[in-house]
Homo-oligomer: A and B are copies of this chain.
């Protein structure tokens, strides 16, 4: 509902003429565009929980990187049906689906106060090169190619969702989701074992395409089996292998011999 223009902008540009938003960013070491000289520097921006980074139909203004916080993206079809299409953790990218049409295809909303970096597409257009990717052994490559690789990974990831959404039971979908989230939390610098779910049960259910009640039942069930601990939104993974199983473990110990 709110236009992205209403959000708070923090333009580091204001202070020093050529300073980029990257000054002091803790993610510089893994960022492909950090400290790059350009007429179109990245723009840092803080988004309060519940506010959107952009909305579907907004004019494409660049690729986004999450510096801190937690966001969800979702689309609304012609009938008004909502589909959560992803969650975004620090270090991850979003907004790539807007390049071709010139406008973003989904809405992205902060679930927690978040800091993001918007990287204008022009920044990839130049002849600048980076050697950060892949930690050294590869040769320097133009930034546009970095973007292409990034999008290639996104496509691969989306294809994996075919398996998850189509072939798996609700339980395995849910378990795979928790495991994926855990790994990405770890990659973002958090604990992969114990973390807080920033999204509601409704968001999880929508994302996994199951009923809200099913998600609730699955939390309860996995907790009862000892695979996780869950209290409100505080989650702890205890047995990640059990997450990917379909059947609850047989309780052989309860059977008397014979």
A residues within 8 Å of B by Cβ? 75, 77, 81, 83, 85, 96-101, 105-106, 124-125, 142, 144-145, 147-156, 158-159, 161-163, 165-167, 208-209
Contacts and interface: CB of A to CB of B under 8 A. Distances in A.
Given A97-B155, A152-B96, A165 B162 contact: yes
Contacts of A85: 159, 162
Contact of A125 (B97, B142, B161): B142
Contacts of A154: 155
Given A83-B162, A101-B152, A158-B161, 18 more contacts: A75-B163, A81-B167, A83-B167, A85-B162, A96-B151, A96-B155, A97-B155, A97-B159, A100-B150, A100-B156, A105-B156, A144-B145, A148-B148, A151-B152, A155-B158, A161-B162, A165-B165, A167-B209
A62 to B, nearest CB: 13
User: Which interface residue of A96, A106, A159 has the most chain B CB atoms within 10 A?
Assistant: A159
18 contacts: A75-B159, A75-B162, A85-B162, A96-B155, A97-B155, A100-B152, A100-B156, A101-B152, A105-B156, A125-B142, A125-B145, A144-B145, A147-B148, A148-B148, A148-B151, A155-B155, A155-B158, A166-B209
Contacts of A155: 96-97, 151, 154-155, 158
A156 B209 contact: no
Given A144-B144, A165-B162, A165-B209, A156 B97 contact: yes
Contacts of A148: 99, 124, 144, 147-148, 151
